[in-house]
Chain A
Amino acid sequence: MTGAKVTASGWGWRHAGRSQPAVSGLDLDIQPGERVLVLGPSGAGKSTLMHALAGVLGDDEDGDETGELRVDGQRPSRARGRVGLVLQDPDSQVVLARIGDDVAFGCENLAVPRAEIWPRVRRALAEVGLDLPLRHPTSALSGGQKQRLALAGVLAMQPGLVLLDEPTANLDPEGVVEVRDAVLRSVRASGATLIVIEHRVAVWQHLVDRVIVLDPAGGVLADGPTDSVLSTEGERLAAAGVWIPRFPPARPDRRPVVAAAAEILLHTEDLAVGRVPFARKRAAVVADGLNLDVRAGRATTISGPNGTGKSTLALTLAGLLAPAGGRLAADDALAAGLGAAPHRWRSRDLLERIGTVFQDPEHQFLAGTVHAELAIGPRALGLSPAEQTERVDSLLHRLRLDHLADANPFTLSGGEKRRLSVATVLATRPRLLVLDEPTFGQDSRTWAELVRLLAELLDAGTAVVAVTHDADFVSTLADVRLVLEAGPGTTTDRRVPGGTVAVPARPAGGRAG
């Protein structure tokens, strides 16, 4: 098997119903076996190019094509089996219920003889390092494992061109390394041409030998060996939101908080958290022995491997899930006249007390326009129309969403959706902000804005609890770090930012840090 050759001459694509083309005037020449990283600000048409190369962009009804795009001299839709595509979302790429069947799926579609399919499946699973029985259920895989499964499904088709569309954006740090290493092993073994899109350059920098930067105005902005493109274009790319190691996003300074000013909003004693499984009565505990104080003006980060109950803890602290054991109490400063158990508060009472930003912004969108979305909270609070308008307008402006006020929230880009989901919560000015993976999959520009906004809120006295895998986020904002570990009990780690007094969590699970 050999790598595929990719050429584009004056190629462009305009999605049906859009006035501007997503890609235009693109000229490319990628040789067999080359490993290419495609960069560009969001909206430069990177994903459109990948879908086109994979032959899944659709036909005349779905958009207008100009120029020529060829894989091995053929139209991509005719080069079936020569091209394999791995997408960003791990959950929407699993086709079948068992891993062996899922990897075999592509081979079956290419009419590979049955006797040849199973050896290919075993080889592909070995290449991506998924050492599990063929009958293992795909629903039991982690995000990183699902992405490696998707890669194995592509490798089993023995394509000449492997396309990866932000394959690690939704993964935790271990998952990122797993997938990156699997890609490295497999393209080395097969000699396939590789094209990757990724915001986080550091992940792929040493694996690719060429970087192509797409220009949102059309065509190519820069094209050449990795190091030279990153040094000439690095600063401009960083400003456009690409994560370039040499140009990290700006980090805000935290104003030191006087210890006495930090009143306790929530505290837990030997808290156990868990969800109640479908059709059961008792919660299945995922973490226990949790002791911590949540204080005004302080950021607490919760990290640890997948499956240790980080999100469940956050939802419990947010008053959305009932504690599975132990005690969670809101102090008077937060409860303001209500009982001490936040999960018993009415939905409307949460608004000015605890705001929650969910991992998937789409879960929390309720309205048809960005403006209406932001007005929901203030209206539920019963604010006057004038005050509603004032709050909505100031948030639109502050989070750079003015020009999107009439857009449908579901049509926004990833970064815009994240900013909107944070803005909807800020509209009711809660005293405590709970965020689940706020920086997942975000470009460096959105990251910097988000971190600056949170730092301002903290300085103004809002408490922040954030579940995060993001080491930069933790080192920039965390006053208290909680690290959940697999198995019973947890450990905590204190941090003493310059000039402030550390507020450690109380000893937890007999293993306090």
Chain B
Amino acid sequence: MSVLTPDIRPSAIATVNPVAKLAVALLISCALMLSIDWVSAAVALLLEGMLLAWCGLNARQFWLRTAPVWIAAPFAMLTTVLYGEDSGAVLFSAGIVSISDGSVALGLAIGLRVLAIGIPGIVLLATTDPTDLADGLAQVVRLPARFVLGALAGLRLVGMFIDDWQSLSLARRARGVGDGGGLRGWARRFAGLAFALLVLSVRRGSKLATAMEARGFGSDEPRTWARPSVFGLRDGLVVLLGVGIAAAAITAAVLAGTWRFVLA
């Protein structure tokens, strides 16, 4: 298993067109970006949670993959509570740290937002083969094939970065310049390695481009697609579900009186 050929367990969500999943993730993100309040984020999170049962991830996979957002959310919340803009009754104050009714509400709103936006994104990634996503973007959204397939082929080179990085750092140790110099030496070596990796990748990328061109890629002639990417009724319903979640979150916040339009 790798980034490009993930093991995807059969599930209801795995068979949905990746474009529909991407649309859902974008719809929810956009809706939640419009306001910073805890009600809209909580409603969206609740509704997403009900859908997770169909995502085909078992508990271990789910927690492992979403761990970054579970770590990020409390941190975002905590910093906002401590350092965020104060309003309402001040509950605690010491130096630049202060906790007020307003900062607690803001912190809660931001923490829930990180979860509500992060989780659909991760579920999208975990249940989508990058090749299928590229097929969808090119055939359903009609993005240019040159751009989509170029990016997909480039993604494969990223997978080789780790091996290259290791070889390059071993080679530097063998050349007598692999350690010493304290923090500054470390920073200089890191920059040197990063640059060497860039050079190596550009060279490999240009060879790959030649190989792709030799197989007829990049001309202006029309091309066919070996794997059909179909956007069916079910995919449309999934998008509607996303619209529904976004609408429910906004409506609930407006009714509860917590809606704070960020652009207002």
Q: Which residues of A contact B (CB under 8 A)?
A: 51, 54-56, 80-81, 83-85, 87, 89, 91-98, 101, 104-114, 117-118, 121, 135, 137, 139, 150, 153-154, 157, 275, 278, 315, 318, 320-321, 346-348, 350-351, 354-356, 358, 360, 362-364, 366, 376-377, 380-381, 410, 424-425, 428
Contacts and interface: CB of A to CB of B under 8 A. Distances in A.
Contacts of A366: 172, 175, 177, 192, 196
A122 to B, nearest CB: 12
Contact of A93 (B172, B196, B208): B208
B179 A139 contact: no
Contact of A96 (B152, B219, B228): B152
Interface of B: 2, 4-5, 129-131, 149, 152-153, 156, 159-160, 162, 164, 166-168, 170-180, 192, 196, 199-200, 203-204, 207-208, 210-217, 219, 221-228
A101 B226 contact: yes
Given A366-B175, A366-B192, A108 B226 contact: yes
B177 A89 contact: no
A356 B174 CA distance: 6
Given A94-B156, A348-B176, A381-B176, A106 B224 contact: no
Q: Which of B177, B216, B221 has the most CB of A within 10 A?
A: B216
Contacts of B170: 315, 320-321, 356, 358
Identify which of A139, A321, A351, A424 gathers the most chain B CB atoms within 10 Å of its CB. A139
19 contacts: A51-B210, A55-B213, A56-B213, A80-B216, A80-B221, A87-B211, A93-B208, A95-B149, A95-B208, A98-B131, A104-B226, A104-B227, A106-B215, A109-B223, A321-B170, A348-B180, A350-B174, A356-B171, A364-B174
B166 A109 contact: no
Given A114-B224, A117-B224, A358 B171 contact: yes
Nearest to B225: A108
A417 B156 CA distance: 27
A137 B156 CA distance: 11
Contacts of A92: 204, 207-208, 211
Contacts of A320: 170, 173-174
A297 to B, nearest CB: 22
A84 B213 CA distance: 10
Given A377-B176, A410-B199, A87 B207 contact: yes
Given A97-B156, A358-B170, 5 more contacts: A95-B149, A98-B5, A348-B179, A350-B173, A366-B172
Given A97-B131, A275-B166, A355 B199 contact: no
Given A105-B217, A157-B215, A114 B208 contact: no
Given A84-B215, A96-B152, A350-B176, A278 B162 contact: yes
A107 B226 contact: yes
B177 A347 contact: yes
Contacts of A118: 226
A314 to B, nearest CB: 11
Contact of B215 (A112, A154, A381): A154
Contacts of B217: 95, 105, 109
Contact of B228 (A112, A114, A377, A380): A114
A323 B221 CA distance: 55
Nearest to B135: A101
A380 B176 contact: yes
A347 B214 contact: no
A236 B152 CA distance: 47
A93 B170 CA distance: 26
Contacts of A278: 162
B189 to A, nearest CB: 10
A363 B171 CA distance: 7
Top 4 nearest A-B pairs (CB, nearest first) are: A347-B178, A109-B216, A97-B4, A380-B176
B225 A105 contact: no
A410 B200 CA distance: 10
A48 to B, nearest CB: 13
A374 to B, nearest CB: 11
Nearest to A97: B4
B175 A376 contact: yes
Nearest to A87: B211
Contacts of B131: 96-98, 101
Contacts of B228: 114
Contact of A318 (B5, B174, B215): B174
A280 to B, nearest CB: 12
B174 A84 contact: no
A380 B189 CA distance: 14
A362 B200 contact: yes
B85 to A, nearest CB: 38
Nearest to A376: B175
A110 B222 CA distance: 8
A157 B152 contact: no
Contact of A110 (B156, B166, B216): B216
Contact of A376 (B177, B199, B200): B177
B53 to A, nearest CB: 27
B167 to A, nearest CB: 5
Contacts of A424: 175
Contacts of B199: 410
Given A97-B131, A364-B175, A56 B210 contact: yes
A332 to B, nearest CB: 22
B180 A111 contact: no
A315 B172 CA distance: 13
Contacts of B214: 54-56, 83-85, 87
A330 B196 CA distance: 32
A137 B4 contact: yes
A105 B225 CA distance: 9
Given A358-B171, A381-B176, A428-B176, A117 B226 contact: yes
A396 to B, nearest CB: 18
Contacts of A95: 149, 153, 156, 208, 211-212, 215, 217
Contact of A358 (B152, B167, B180): B167
Given A94-B156, A105-B217, A139-B2, A363 B207 contact: no
Contacts of A105: 212, 215, 217
A364 B171 contact: yes
A364 B221 CA distance: 42
A166 to B, nearest CB: 13
A350 B130 CA distance: 43
Given A109-B216, A117-B224, A363 B168 contact: yes
B218 to A, nearest CB: 8
